[in-house]
Structure 1
Amino acid sequence: MGKKHAAASMANGTPNGTDRTSENSEQHQERLAIRSPRNLQNTASLEGLQTEEQRRVLDVIAQLRRCNLESTLSLPQLVVCGDQSAGKSSVLEALTEIPFPRNDNLCTRFATEIILRRAELESLTIKVIPDAKRSNAEQDIIRSFVETITDFKELPDIMDKAMEVMGIGADSARAFAKDVLSIEIEGPDRPQLTLVDLPGLIQNATAGVTEEDVEMVRNITESYISQPRTICLAVISCLNDYANQGIITRIRKHDPNGERTLGIITKPDRVEKGSGSEAAFIALARNEDIRFNLGWHVLRNRNFQESRSSFNERNMVEEDFFRKSNFRVLDQDNVGIDALRTRLSLLLFEHVKNEMPKLRSELDGRLSETTTQLGNMGVKRSEAKECREFLTNLSLDFHGICKAAISGHYEGTYFQPKTKDTFSPQSIDAIRRLRALVQMMNEKFAARFRTHGHFYWIETEETKSKPKPKINEDGLKADPDPTDSKSPFLKNMTPIILTEAKAIQWVKDALTRSRGRELSGTFNPLLVGELFWEQASKWSDLSIDHMEDMSHICSTFLNILLKEKCPKDLQPRLRSLVQDALKERDDSAYAELERLMADLREYPINYNHYYLSEVQKKRMEKEKLALQQAVKDASTETQHGEGEDARRTTHIDVEQLAKNFRKTMSGDGDMEQHSCAEILHSVIAIYKVLHKVFVQNITMQVVERHIVRGLENIFSPVTVNRMTDEEVEGIAAEPAAAKRHRAFLEDQVKKLGDGQRILKGVMRSTAA
């Protein structure tokens, strides 16, 4: 049947192209359910070899296979392998007494799995297990191929259809497939047994067989014989020097000590009697050359002329051969199909029994590992309801930790230090304790503002007692502590140092530039505002720098929290949501800062008594100094008498004192100098007042109000509740690859769990 016909038959609802298209569904199901046993030969020869204990042990493996654990665990099995035309299919046929098709060597173009199971009804089901590397669509098509027959005569046609499904039909350029043909034979007299017939190894590419085909067959063979619980039935033909048969090399690679290999020699009747070749094969059968722990066995299978003979006839001819040929010298337990069945029955039973504890241990370990992997994937997130529930629980945890960090409640394990790092913005432990870090950064900002916020550092009687800012070699500026901030702006933030005389000159220059129609000795009161703006010109940059530092800390805090609490696949999507919210908060903070700066750019308005107190204080200090100097200059001392009677009197010229005081207060008569001093004192006083207010406004109205406060509401249960189904799925739904991986892990956990229960039941019954 060609591909075209196979495709058409699939479209009609039967993937194998049978003539069932005319049947309705009920008739088809009835036909599958009612099976006639008359044309299905039984395997009584095998059944009789299994004791009740053997059946029970082998039944465990059969049950594990029904759990589809072959792809997960290496299960005990018998694998018939060898070179092409070595007689593997004949060995399999003689063992199972199932008449496989012999034309065109069909059974050697793919692996064939024969599963014998005990069941109440006789049945023979054929299906194809797809290669795991095929696409999902191809696998679905191949899995849909399932045929149940009641007569072995139907087997050749069914196998033709199976090959079409595999893509190696008559019209295909492909010669081999990695798919597995599975033949399940059930019945009340069937033993529990699984055998696998592999394609024969090909030495060289020939017409119709490519190098890729040669490599594929080699890979198929090695994939089976490399499994540690596989018993290899290595078939060697007497028609070829066994040293040249590739299966020996493959077996030695994967089973170097021959611990799980039984060699089977076929076609002994085809070797010339009395020849050296015959002697060599007899020696091989005695395990004298290539040694296998399980030894060797010799079979004489049907030749072409005997192909139509019955199994009984075949067995009689074989018995006669081993009585009369030179192979009669061999132990009778090592020749003939009956003896092979006995050997395999005991061998498989002992093998399975020995492997059972290891199998259970491996299964338990694999189940634990797979369960852990599934657990690490988190909650299943396929539907909107699952996604919303997951996000709600996640946001609840997120909100709680965030709220605790902002409030400064560090009782949870999340806040426990993981390192011994110094408490700084670079420490993850510090960032977790957000409120503590915010407090520290605000204090640093206030200190930096106090020491570097003014453009000029003016030497006055008050500042003389304080340390001067560090200066560079140019005598003007110095770098602050570079660890205070990442901003390059702060690299030259130290104020310019001015003596009081230079400060007066700074004011005088400004007075000259701003003079209008003021009378001599007076000044424009708006000049105080202009000088203040120059003195406070760094406030904006300092504030922006602090605001950006705090924004970065909060963003890092949320990213750390997301990384520790969210599944990896969810982190980029939630991070996008968080970053969008943070950008809105940053924009609000910038807008708030701009409003504060706009207020600052207006002429100062003050109702704080501190300003007047400062001005009056400066004036009183000046008056005090002026008065002291005036008294000194207006005083004269006179001595009266001599010796012990001498006394001194001080005379103060009140008129001169008044003149001296007025002169000092007016700047030696220079009213402009006097005005500049008054202006300077006003600028210093208003700076002190507004500086404190501004720092408070930045930390509270900008940082606290827009950057820190409400951070926990960015991702909270309320936020999730407001999302549409599309939004929650867009954020929380697992990607397609994760869904497939989860489905795979869930399937593995189910299979392994079923297998674990089966093995536990066996162990309990055995112990009892």
Structure 2
Amino acid sequence: MILTPPETDDAPEMKMTDSMKALESSQQSRVLDTVAQIRKCGLEGVLSLPQIVVCGDQSAGKSSVLEALTEIPYPRNDNLCTRYATEIILRRGFVELLTVKVIPDNQRDASDQEKIRKFSATINDFNELPALMNKANEVMGIGAGSSTSRAFSRDVLSITIEGPNRPQLTVVDLPGLIQNKTKDTQESDVKLVDELTESYIGQERTICLAVVAATNDYANQGILTKVQKVDPDGNRSMGIITKPDRLEKGSGTEKAFVELAQNKDVHFKLGWHVLRNRGFDNINSSFLERNANESNYFRTSAFKVLPKTAVGIDALRKRLSDLLFEHVKKELPKLREDLEVALKGAHSQRETLGKSRASVQQCREFMTSLSQGIFEIAKAAIDGRYEEEFFRFKEDEGFEPTSQATIRRLRALVQNLNSLFSDNMDKNGIKYLIEWPDSSKVRQPPTTPAKAPKSDGVLDSGVEKPIRVTYDWALEWVEKRLESSRGRELQGNFNPLIIGELSWAQISEWEELAIIHTEIVAEKCEAFLQDLIETMRDRSLRELESLLDDLKSHPINYNDYYIQTVKKRREDRLEALMLQQVTDVAGQAIDLTQKEQNRDEVLRVVLAKMKSDSKSSDLKAHSCEEVLDCVNAIYKVQLKTFVANVTTQCVERHVVRGLENIFAPLAVAKMSDEDLSEVASEPLSLRSHREFLDDRIAKLEQGHDILKKVMRNAPV
């Protein structure tokens, strides 16, 4: 429906009557200016601000009350009801301006809200208001030009009037309560209007102007029930009776409404007021004509028994002016408290978001600060300095490898794991655990080949335990390998490459044990720095591959331990053999250290016998013993070297050392702006929420400053 502008002389120039100018005293103006300034900060949705709400049933005359009260020619039609809340804000300004905007319902989706917020228009001629409101209807989805064609809306139409002599006042007109459904309304519309009305009149700082029409029994008008429900004592409610000129003179109904206006039936502490507004036949009359007609009516009607302060628009403005002034003055201290609570809450919410990361510089500062903290904690953990609160242990907490407190003490954990790895290598690193014979006894050739015993189980890690074998079995094992590895060496000698082959067999479990240890340390470091350790672990495993490749080459040794071990084994065997020969010669065991007088003779005989026996001795057995001694000696050398290399090169060099530099400030400094923004910028939703909080805090701080200044310098 297209609305037509009122054809009045005063409308185009946005003038107001003298009675409107006299609405406020200087003191009232100052107090109400305070609320107006706070409202101008945009705090309506944050705080409950003092306001006047015009409410009632459909066709009760609410819009006429609003129009007379504000002297704004509100576009309306006799067949059109209010479809949404309309907020009229009067402000002081340098020039006469009228601004229309729509405040979207917060239940709409974000895109709709953004679209609605973009609608705003300013005019300086009331004749342009109907067309402007029709556009606002379309934005809200109401009216013939709308694609959704909604009957009612939760959006709010906001009309701001500014002018040098405008009073500071905010009045809200609500859609009329629907008593009965029609073809144009649904049950959902009834519910929406009810909820909208209750949300406004339920606010403790709202003055309710409950409008009842004299054309209908007031007992049947639902607004009275709703107002009494939210304000049972009537402390902030005033009744407004409209259309008194429609009553039949002298009728009982007229008498009942006069008594209602006298506050004898439905009692409100703020009382009742009677208005005679323009009807359809004089809808185009000016405000001056409207006010004159109203004054004439109350001089002659049955309502003349009421005090002049209870009838007419001029008296209503005065009552509302005084009422609003006292109401605001009383609410200012509490309003300030609420504002401070809201401000504190907004600050608290923003603090939980941390510092903003919207710009590249903010991202760099955030990443630098974060990396510095991580660097210091990681460096302390690696160095074994546990003074920080981060490393604190509970008194009853044990040093368990899987506990958070243990993992945080990274150096202690790595040292313990390295010790466990060394012990594990000593116990489980060798494939065949040989039971070496007592050096004082000479081995007797076995009559039957010994069989290797079965493994007694598998470790939890998946590595088999060493197979325990006898010395004789080991010699047979070596003998078989000797046969398969003969080269061009002379009789009685052996191919030196066989030592490497046998060593490879003995160290076959080392790779698995080393990988398990490296993985365990890496996992603990991952728990310490999560996924940042992943690349370092890969380096460690590559280094381990290099070490294992080295082991696959034939042994090259310059370690004295190997030489001394082999030499000692030879000497032990030689001594045992000599003792056996001496026993055979002398017929009894001889202690060479105690038989010096016989030593020369005995040695001569023994050497002669050994020389004679050597012609028929088993050279192959001798070679086997030599090979086994070499394999055993080189194994011990390799074991020490391998454990040292794994713990120092794989674990320490590639996993632990430099761990603190994975996310060091220097790394942040080298990052490009694009990388920083991609890594550190906050999500759009978080940024929007931060902007929302920043905007709210700015408004609250502005409002707080206004209240503090007013209450300090100009006490009311």
What TM-score, normalized to structure 2?
0.83
The percent identity for this pair of structures is 52
Once the 2 structures are TM-superposed, how far is the Cα of residue 730 of structure 1 from its aligned partner? 1.8
| 2:455 aligned with 1:476 | yes
The farther-off stretch of 126-135 and 741-750 is: 126-135
Q: How does 1:200-599 map to 2 (within 5 A)?
A: 200-248=176-224, 250-251=226-227, 254-255=230-231, 258-271=234-247, 292=268, 294-311=270-287, 314-315=290-291, 318=294, 334-417=310-393, 421-460=397-436, 476-478=455-457, 490-515=461-486, 522-559=493-530, 578=532, 582-583=534-535, 585-599=536-550
> What secondary structure is seen at the aligned counterpart in 2 of 1:108?
coil
User: 2:78–2:280: 8 Å Cα contact kept in structure 1?
Assistant: no
Distance in 2 between the 1:260 and 1:494 partners? 89
Alignment-derived partner of residue 29 in structure 1: none
Distance in 2 between the 1:459 and 1:248 partners? 105
> What secondary structure is seen at the aligned counterpart in 2 of 1:186?
strand
**One-letter code aligned to 1:384:** V
User: 1:635–1:650: 8 Å Cα contact kept in structure 2?
Assistant: no
Once the 2 structures are TM-superposed, how far is the Cα of residue 358 of structure 1 from its aligned partner? 2.3
Once the 2 structures are TM-superposed, how far is the Cα of residue 383 of structure 1 from its aligned partner? 3.6
> What secondary structure is seen at the aligned counterpart in 2 of 1:78?
strand
Alignment-derived partner of residue 567 in structure 1: none
Once the 2 structures are TM-superposed, how far is the Cα of residue 335 of structure 1 from its aligned partner? 4.8
Distance in 1 between the 2:433 and 2:308 partners? 113
Q: Which digits, 9 at most, give the CA deviation of each residue in 1:305-327, with x for residues without a partner?
A: 34345545555655666676666
Once the 2 structures are TM-superposed, how far is the Cα of residue 545 of structure 1 from its aligned partner? 1.4
Distance in 1 between the 2:701 and 2:681 partners? 27
User: 2:487–2:495: 8 Å Cα contact kept in structure 1?
Assistant: yes
| 2:691 aligned with 1:712 | no
| 2:32 aligned with 1:58 | yes
Q: Which digits, 9 at most, give the CA deviation of each residue in 1:150-176, with x for residues without a partner?
A: 4x4443344334334444344333333
> What secondary structure is seen at the aligned counterpart in 1 of 2:54?
strand
Change (3 A) 1:91 1:446: same
Distance in 2 between the 1:279 and 1:625 partners? 140
Distance in 2 between the 1:134 and 1:43 partners? 43
Alignment-derived partner of residue 676 in structure 1: 624
Alignment-derived partner of residue 746 in structure 1: 694
Once the 2 structures are TM-superposed, how far is the Cα of residue 256 of structure 1 from its aligned partner? 5.7
Distance in 2 between the 1:432 and 1:693 partners? 29
Alignment-derived partner of residue 56 in structure 2: 82
Alignment-derived partner of residue 658 in structure 1: 606
Distance in 2 between the 1:277 and 1:188 partners? 44
> What secondary structure is seen at the aligned counterpart in 2 of 1:103?
coil
What TM-score, normalized to structure 1?
0.78
> What secondary structure is seen at the aligned counterpart in 1 of 2:347?
helix
Once the 2 structures are TM-superposed, how far is the Cα of residue 78 of structure 1 from its aligned partner? 1.1
User: 1:635–1:651: 8 Å Cα contact kept in structure 2?
Assistant: no
User: 2:52–2:171: 8 Å Cα contact kept in structure 1?
Assistant: yes
Q: Which digits, 9 at most, give the CA deviation of each residue in 1:429-484, with x for residues without a partner?
A: 33333333322222222222222212233333699xxxxxxxxxx9733455x5xx
User: 1:634–1:660: 8 Å Cα contact kept in structure 2?
Assistant: no
> What secondary structure is seen at the aligned counterpart in 1 of 2:157?
strand
Distance in 2 between the 1:461 and 1:637 partners? 22
Distance in 2 between the 1:281 and 1:475 partners? 111
Distance in 1 between the 2:251 and 2:358 partners? 72
> What secondary structure is seen at the aligned counterpart in 1 of 2:704?
helix
Once the 2 structures are TM-superposed, how far is the Cα of residue 618 of structure 1 from its aligned partner? 2.7
Q: Which digits, 9 at most, give the CA deviation of each residue in 1:190-248, with x for residues without a partner?
A: 32211111122334543344455444434443443343322222223344444544435
User: 1:130–1:143: 8 Å Cα contact kept in structure 2?
Assistant: no
Once the 2 structures are TM-superposed, how far is the Cα of residue 67 of structure 1 from its aligned partner? 0.8
Alignment-derived partner of residue 7 in structure 2: none
User: 1:64–1:755: 8 Å Cα contact kept in structure 2?
Assistant: yes
Q: Which digits, 9 at most, give the CA deviation of each residue in 1:332-385, with x for residues without a partner?
A: 655544443343223322322232222222222222222233333333333434
**One-letter code aligned to 1:525:** P
User: 1:110–1:198: 8 Å Cα contact kept in structure 2?
Assistant: yes
| 2:153 aligned with 1:174 | no
User: 2:486–2:495: 8 Å Cα contact kept in structure 1?
Assistant: yes
Change (3 A) 1:661 1:163: farther
Alignment-derived partner of residue 685 in structure 1: 633
**One-letter code aligned to 1:93:** E
Q: Which digits, 9 at most, give the CA deviation of each residue in 1:676-722, with x for residues without a partner?
A: 33332222211111101011111222222222223333333433343
Alignment-derived partner of residue 123 in structure 2: 148
Change (3 A) 1:301 1:679: same
Alignment-derived partner of residue 616 in structure 1: 567
Once the 2 structures are TM-superposed, how far is the Cα of residue 420 of structure 1 from its aligned partner? 5.9
Distance in 1 between the 2:703 and 2:186 partners? 41
**One-letter code aligned to 1:760:** K
Once the 2 structures are TM-superposed, how far is the Cα of residue 546 of structure 1 from its aligned partner? 1.7
Change (3 A) 1:626 1:346: farther
Distance in 1 between the 2:685 and 2:39 partners? 27
Alignment-derived partner of residue 557 in structure 2: 606
**One-letter code aligned to 1:554:** C
> What secondary structure is seen at the aligned counterpart in 1 of 2:548?
helix
User: 1:55–1:191: 8 Å Cα contact kept in structure 2?
Assistant: yes
Distance in 1 between the 2:404 and 2:174 partners? 59
User: 2:463–2:513: 8 Å Cα contact kept in structure 1?
Assistant: no
Distance in 1 between the 2:425 and 2:289 partners? 108
| 2:703 aligned with 1:755 | yes
Distance in 2 between the 1:637 and 1:706 partners? 62
The farther-off stretch of 153-162 and 187-196 is: 153-162
| 2:713 aligned with 1:765 | yes
Q: How does 1:83-122 map to 2 (within 5 A)?
A: 83-104=57-78, 108-122=82-96
User: 2:209–2:239: 8 Å Cα contact kept in structure 1?
Assistant: yes
Alignment-derived partner of residue 449 in structure 2: none
Change (3 A) 1:286 1:430: farther
Change (3 A) 1:169 1:518: same
Distance in 2 between the 1:181 and 1:169 partners? 14
Distance in 1 between the 2:90 and 2:238 partners? 21
Change (3 A) 1:286 1:680: farther
Q: Which digits, 9 at most, give the CA deviation of each residue in 1:591-620, with x for residues without a partner?
A: 221111111011211110001111222333
Q: Which digits, 9 at most, give the CA deviation of each residue in 1:542-577, with x for residues without a partner?
A: 111122222222232223xxxxxxxxxxxxxxx6xx
CA RMSD of aligned residues (A): 4.0
Change (3 A) 1:457 1:120: same
The farther-off stretch of 750-759 and 407-416 is: 407-416
User: 1:477–1:492: 8 Å Cα contact kept in structure 2?
Assistant: no
Once the 2 structures are TM-superposed, how far is the Cα of residue 510 of structure 1 from its aligned partner? 3.6
User: 2:82–2:176: 8 Å Cα contact kept in structure 1?
Assistant: yes
> What secondary structure is seen at the aligned counterpart in 1 of 2:240?
strand
**One-letter code aligned to 2:174:** L
User: 2:381–2:409: 8 Å Cα contact kept in structure 1?
Assistant: yes
**One-letter code aligned to 2:695:** D
Distance in 2 between the 1:252 and 1:623 partners? 118
Q: How many residues align?
A: 687
> What stretches of structure 1 of length at least 5 have no aligned partner?
3-35, 464-473, 483-489, 560-574, 639-647
